[in-house]
Amino acid sequence: MKSIALLVFLIFPIACHADWTKSWGKITQVMSHDGIHIIYTEIPDDTCGQTGNFWWPTDDPDAQDMYSMALAAFMAGKEVLLAHDQNNQECKYGHISKATHMRIR
């Protein structure tokens, strides 16, 4: 039992390396281009040398849901929180960090 617990303890940090942004922020722009969805936000977290810019691929299983949430938040003036990997941001266009999850409030 101890070996299973130790194995889970060692694997869990590797599997969960994406973190939620530290702050909520409103979306200021929404776009889709070359197979990726892009949003610009007021979130102050560093995203590839700038702040608050996120992308995700259109073929991601959650892509349509995240894009719908982004549009809803943008149109309603609601705030979002996104998950992205600070250590491996997968920058696009030099200033946009890959997002993996989204929350809206």
The pLDDT tens digits for 53-85 are 999 999 999 999 999 999 999 999 999 999 887
Q: State pTM to two decimals.
A: 0.78
The pLDDT tens digits for 5-58 are 434 444 444 344 568 888 999 999 999 988 999 999 999 988 888 899 999 999
Q: Going from the N-terminus, what domains does the chain have, and what CATH number goes with each? A: 18-104 (2.40.50.50)
Count CB neighbours of 62 within 10 A. Answer: 13
- Residue-level pLDDT at 67: 96
Q: For residue 1, what pLDDT band results from cuts at 50, 70 and 90? A: low
Find all residues with CB under 8 Å of 54, minimum gap 6, and list them.
38, 39, 41, 47, 82, 84, 96, 97, 98, 99
Tokens encoding 22: 């530290």
